[in-house]
Amino acid sequence: MIYDAPTTRAAGLPVTSIAIAVIGAIVLIIGFIAEPARTAVAYLAAYATTVSVVLGALAMVMIAQLTRATWFVVLRREAEQVIATLPVLALLFIPVLLSMHWLYPWTHPETLSAHDRALVDAKSGYLNVPFFIIRTIIYFIVWIGLAELIRRRSLAQDRGDEPGQRPLYSVSAWGTPLYALTISFAAFDWLMSLTPAWYSTIYGVYFFAGGMVGAMGLLIVLTEHARRRGELTDVVATDHLHALAKVTLTFVLFWTYIGFSQLIVIWSGNIPDEVVWYRARVAGGWAVLAGVLVFGQFALPFCALVLRWFKRSFVLMTILGIWLSVVHYLDVYWMTIPAGASGHVAQVWTDAGALLFVIGTTAAAWAIRRRGERTVPVGDPRLPASLEYRAD
């Protein structure tokens, strides 16, 4: 053991998170009774936001291993504890499966126009309920398998059972391609098929990029939360925060680049079957929300993160982390709701209920699974270098 880090506090059940989840569940039950279609799409938006952030944390752990990111070692356990929630998120997908008839027009193609039905019929070998469910099971097997294998080897490293970096590096090496394929096809299945006659080859990359922005925001917030609880006070310095801010800026720019690339190709082509997705999202209140996203997920964080003094302020970065988490939800909301909400921009009570249930349940799982674990990977041979890390 290189550094005798404290363990996370072994408190009782996370009562607050459970209470939030129960309130959300009550609202959702009422919503599914009163307005099932609108509640279903609200739930999908909240769920897709949460799972994309957790998967972003999984990607960050593997990217850090493959790039030998020394600075991330002291933050790795925070990310590992986030990905521990994936088994619970797999269970939380059940309401989406039960709502498929309300969410996905391809489950009842007779309601589509003749033109759209012809396009959907051509995809029937892929877009059918049994194959959809099978693919979803495969996605979660891959994600949970990767997350649990990484966590198991990381905790074994703490005990000295698996010394060195090779075990974690090897998992990341073969796991990253599997991750890239599964998150792309999950985005195609869960979100893009809400508009089954439309497609974009980089839609999965856009979903991944947004999830990475949300994941960076969450890691910033969790790092400050741990520092205030005394778990990382003597470990995480402003130089680590600076490095995390630079990675956050990278993914902000990547999200912007992918989003603009998708827009410019489709819009300049001006093919009716291709522009239909954007037409629904640049009209009325959706155009306002699109403008909010351009400002909130690109312009504002970009202007803030190019400033060295901003990147080295825990207070300002925490505020930005919360902001990025919120605008990531708005991004997924903008992607999801217009396809299944019959033109209604917002229905606050169902949207809030879905968020409370999904986030509350996920937060409770996070709090329970992290109890008793070391706050940093004490068995990592790169930990001393990480503790002494200095940003350029």
User: What is the per-residue pLDDT across 237-269, written as a single tens digit (0 to 9) for each?
Assistant: 999 999 999 999 999 999 999 999 999 999 888
Q: Could you tell me if residue 313 is inside a domain?
A: yes
Q: Phi and psi (nearest 5°) for 18? A: -65, -40
Q: Which domain holds residue 73?
A: 25-374
> Would the pLDDT of 3 be above 80?
no
pLDDT confidence tier of residue 91, bands split at 50, 70 and 90: very high
Rounded CA gap, 218 and 98, in Å?
Answer: 29
Say if residues 54 and 219 touch (Cβ distance below 8 Å).
no
Q: Is residue 148 scored above 70 in pLDDT?
A: yes
Q: What is the pLDDT of residue 56?
A: 98
Q: How far is CA 280 from the centre of its chain?
A: 24
Distance CA 266, CA 259 (A): 11
In the chain, the amino acid numbered 90 is A
Lowest mean pLDDT among 142-146, 203-207, 272-276: 272-276
Q: Assess contact for 71 and 239: CB atoms under 8 A.
A: yes
Q: At 179, which amino acid appears? A: Y
Q: Where are the alpha helices (DSSP H) in the chain?
A: 15-34, 36-66, 73-83, 86-91, 94-98, 100-103, 114-122, 129-159, 166-190, 203-228, 238-269, 272-279, 285-294, 300-305, 308-311, 314-340, 348-370, 383-387
Q: Give the separation between CA 194 and CA 198, rounded to whole angstroms.
A: 9
Of the pLDDT bands very low, low, confident and very high (cuts 50, 70, 90), residue 163 is low
**pLDDT number for residue 342:** 54
What amino acid occupies position 46? A
Dist. CA 188–CA 225, nearest whole Å: 34
Confidence label for 222 from pLDDT (cuts 50, 70 and 90): very high
Query: Both tokens of residue 267?
Result: 């819009």
* Percent of the chain predicted with pLDDT > 70: 94
pLDDT at 346 over 70: no
pLDDT reported for residue 164: 55
Helix (H, G, I), strand (E, B) or coil at 6: coil
Cα-to-chain-centroid distance, residue 319: 19
Residue 33 lies inside a defined structural domain of this protein? yes
3-state secondary structure of 374: strand
Residue 233, pLDDT score: 84
Per-residue pLDDT for 1 more than 90? Answer: no
pLDDT at 289: 94
Asked if the model's pLDDT at residue 2 lies above 60, the reply is: no
Is residue 370 in some structural domain? yes
Q: Nearest-CA neighbor of 67 among 328, 250, 236, 305? A: 250
On the question of pLDDT at 386 being above 70, the answer is yes
Of the listed ranges 110-114, 198-202, 252-256, 300-304, the one predicted with least confidence: 110-114
Instruction: Give the confidence band of 343 by pLDDT, cuts at 50, 70, 90.
Output: very low
In a domain, 1, yes or no: no
What CA–CA distance (Å, rounded) separates 298 from 89? 28
Q: Is the pLDDT of residue 8 over 80?
A: no
Q: In the prediction, which pLDDT does 61 show?
A: 97
Q: Note whether residue 389 is domain-resident.
A: no
- 8 within a domain of the structure (yes/no): no
- 14 assigned to some structural domain: no
How big is the chain, counted in residues? 392
The token duo for 49 is 């936001």
Is residue 36 included in any domain, yes or no? yes
Do the Cβ atoms of 311 and 337 come closer than 8 Å?
no
* Mean pLDDT to the nearest integer, 58-78: 96
Domain count within the chain:
1
